[in-house]
Amino acid sequence: MGNNRHIGVSVAAITAALLLLIIGMSVTILAINNEVKVRPDTGANKSSHTVSNHDHSNDSAHDHKVAPPATSEKADLLIIFSDSGFDRSTYEVSAGDTVRVENGSRNAFYFATGDHANHTIDSPLNVGTIQPGGASSFIAPEPGIYNFHNHKNETQAGTLRVR
């Protein structure tokens, strides 16, 4: 009878150890998956990154904002982004017009406005990440001058004049 008791305790101990091992492995797998999701743009996009006074080490918030698809309506203004930047430095449009931004480059880029370090300025134009070959559109806001740039390389920039 004494041996059966020790066998029962051993089985319980082995079961508990296996359960802890399975939980530990599950937590590790979840942590690895979450890390990949937080920073999906490592690799090719990093090689084209330009050094700036703005810290991109916490760009996960920007990287997760995916630009909405372009509207099906006709665009009043077309902004084209290529590997060398935007096709023009200045664009002009009327308030309420539809502006379409097309990505003709080989890499995804984040169309952002305002001060490079603070993209809450002119936020209606912060459409987010546009994939290669993709496009997004927005409605031109109230009259004014709006600066925009590629978030990963602020030297690729332009100005939108809304009348």
Q: What is the pLDDT of residue 109?
A: 92
Whether the pLDDT of residue 29 is over 70: the answer is: no
The mean pLDDT of the chain is 73
pLDDT classification of 125: cutoffs 50, 70, 90: confident
- For 55-64, 79-88, 108-117, which range has the lowest pLDDT when averaged over its residues? 55-64
- Average pLDDT rounded to a whole number, residues 29-39: 37
Residues 125, 113: Cα–Cα separation, whole Å: 6
Residues 121, 12: Cα–Cα separation, whole Å: 60
- Which residues, in sequence order, are bridge partners of residue 109? 130
What superfamily in CATH does domain 45-162 come from? Cupredoxins -  blue copper proteins (2.60.40.420)
Q: What is the pLDDT of residue 26?
A: 54
Whether the pLDDT of residue 123 is over 90: the answer is: no
120 exposed, middle or buried (CB, 10 Å; 0-12, 13-18, 19+)?
A: exposed
Mind listing the pLDDT tens digit for each residue in 108-121? 999 988 766 666 66
Whether the pLDDT of residue 90 is over 90: the answer is: yes
Residues 37, 163: Cα–Cα separation, whole Å: 40
- Residue bearing the bigger pLDDT, 91 or 114: 91
Q: What is the pLDDT of residue 9?
A: 63
Domain definitions of the chain by residue range: 2-38, 45-162
Whether the pLDDT of residue 127 is over 70: the answer is: yes
Q: What is the chain written as a DSSP string?
A: -HHHHHHHHHHHHHHHHHHHHHHHHHHHHHHHHHHHHH-TT-SHHHHTPPP-SS--TTTHHHHH-BPPPPPSSPPSEEEEEETTEES-SEEEE-TT-EEEEEE-SSS-EEEEES-TT-TTTTGGG--EEE-TT-EEEEE--SSEEEEEEETTEEEEEEEEEE-
- Percentage of the chain surpassing pLDDT 70? 53
